[in-house]
Structure 1
Amino acid sequence: MIDKIISEVDFALKLFTVPQKGLRTSPSENVSNSNHELSDDDVKQTARLMRVNHTGEVCAQALYRGQLFFNSDEVTEKALKHAAFEEIDHLNWCEQRIKELGGKTSYLNPIFYMSSFSLGAIAGKIDNKFNLGFLEETEKQVTTHLEGHIKKISKNDKKTHAILEQMKYDEQCHQKTAKSLGSKELPSFFQKIMNATSKLMTKTTYWI
């Protein structure tokens, strides 16, 4: 147990200090779109929304690590690790776009990482079907969240739209995987806790 705790602390520290390596290049790489085509207000708002999405990806890493902490099912472990690895791509794409827009990532990331890890660990401790249900519900809420951002961002910002559309597709695939593995629907109170945490993260990281 001590070794696992040390490993998790090491992972968290590296997440915030060392650039993470993914497999895929950003979907925006092949899109011809300049920030000069956007108004100053569009650039500012999009940078803030992408900061929210970046923190969401930090939370995703924490959730998956928390879920894996007590998990003993090999199939669930494979699904969680696959999802987490794809989320590293999302993390990189969001951070890259934030920099291109002249924005900054959130100072609150470490706090949300710790809270998300704890929530994931609770889900993983209960049972495997619940753990998969937690994965499904997480991806469902993230998909809804991304759809909202896609509507808010200027249609002229094709780079950001390309990123968010791919992220949305990946999240939907993760949700379907969890369901196909026999996920259990979460109790309404647990869904409400997840939703409240998500709203808190969204509202604070938009500004900080």
Structure 2
Amino acid sequence: MSTRQYSLFDRLLVQGEQAMRTLVPGAAQAARPSPAQHLRSDTIDDAQRQHVAGLMRINHTGEVCAQALYQGQALTARLPDIREQMEQAAAEEVDHLAWCEQRLNELGSRTSVLNPVFYGLSFGIGAVAGKISDRISLGFVAATEQLVERHLDDHLTQLPEDDLKSRAILEQMREDEIEHGSQALQAGGVVFPRPVKAAMKMMSKVMTSVTYRI
């Protein structure tokens, strides 16, 4: 039994479909149930609710960027097994995307209107990284996941004690991101030098400060 070899055009069509599922509200469908689904509703006040919504909007946009990054890398990855790993990681990140959007809806808020912009930028970065080399591409995944882990740690400290739903979601996301980063390094990803990580951190700060409000 032969495995079908997809052309570049076929892969571009798949990428377009994935982009629509990522960016259209309600289109992302989680394979796993939300960690918050059986938890009681929170009793946070309006100011806390607004702050939590800002944090969850940041995390949702972060997952939009992750989807784009993985899809861009999968498009240009040289080795089939690396491409499959990127596509599998993107599929697992869909859960995070759906959970964050669901939580934003519960908070009476919305996702960032700038998501298409961040998707395009992240897709381009991923495609370039994949084109350079698979090891660079995997190293970029590892470095990105480390940044996300730090963001989640910070957000967990900012959540109100009564917001059990958001906390459960972010804790599961953190666990998954650590695993993805470890897998990328084990697959041969390079460890980026400090200047590169510093530049990535600066770019991340721009994204988080903007999407918290917009």
Q: TM-score, normalised by structure 1?
A: 0.93
Q: For the residues of structure 2 that align with 1:207 and 1:38, how far apart are their CA atoms?
A: 19
Give the ranges of 4+ consecutive aligned residues of structure 1 lying more than 4 Å apart after TM superposition: none
Q: For the residues of structure 2 that align with 1:169 and 1:75, how far apart are their CA atoms?
A: 24
Compute the RMSD of aligned alpha carbons.
1.5
Aligned to 1:15: 22
Paired amino acid for 2:37: E
Q: For the residues of structure 1 that align with 2:16 and 2:132, how far apart are their CA atoms?
A: 23
Shift in Å at residue 82 of structure 1? 2.1
Alignment of 1:29-178 (within 5 A): 29-32=37-40, 34-35=41-42, 37-178=43-184
Shift in Å at residue 189 of structure 1? 4.1
8 Å contact from structure 2 (residues 82, 134) kept in 1: yes
C-alpha change, 1:176 and 1:112, in structure 2 (3 Å) is: same
Q: For the residues of structure 2 that align with 1:75 and 1:8, how far apart are their CA atoms?
A: 18
Q: For the residues of structure 2 that align with 1:74 and 1:82, how far apart are their CA atoms?
A: 12
Q: Aligned pairs, how many? A: 206
Q: Deviations over 1:68-122 (max 9, x none)?
A: 1110223322322221111100000000000001111100000000001111111
Q: For the residues of structure 2 that align with 1:194 and 1:5, how far apart are their CA atoms?
A: 27
8 Å contact from structure 2 (residues 53, 109) kept in 1: yes
Alignment identity in percent?
A: 42
Shift in Å at residue 2 of structure 1? 4.4
Q: Deviations over 1:37-74 (max 9, x none)?
A: 11211111001110110000000000001111110223
Q: Deviations over 1:138-167 (max 9, x none)?
A: 111100111000001111101110000000
Q: For the residues of structure 1 that align with 2:110 and 2:28, how far apart are their CA atoms?
A: 17
Paired amino acid for 2:172: Q
Aligned to 1:25: 33
More helix, by proportion: 1
Q: For the residues of structure 2 that align with 1:187 and 1:4, how far apart are their CA atoms?
A: 32
Q: TM-score, normalised by structure 2?
A: 0.90
Q: Note the residue ranges of structure 1 that are not aligned, 5 or more in a row.
A: none
Q: For the residues of structure 2 that align with 1:133 and 1:167, how far apart are their CA atoms?
A: 20
8 Å contact from structure 2 (residues 55, 212) kept in 1: yes
Paired amino acid for 2:180: H
8 Å contact from structure 1 (residues 64, 120) kept in 2: yes
Q: For the residues of structure 2 that align with 1:77 and 1:192, how far apart are their CA atoms?
A: 27
8 Å contact from structure 1 (residues 79, 177) kept in 2: no
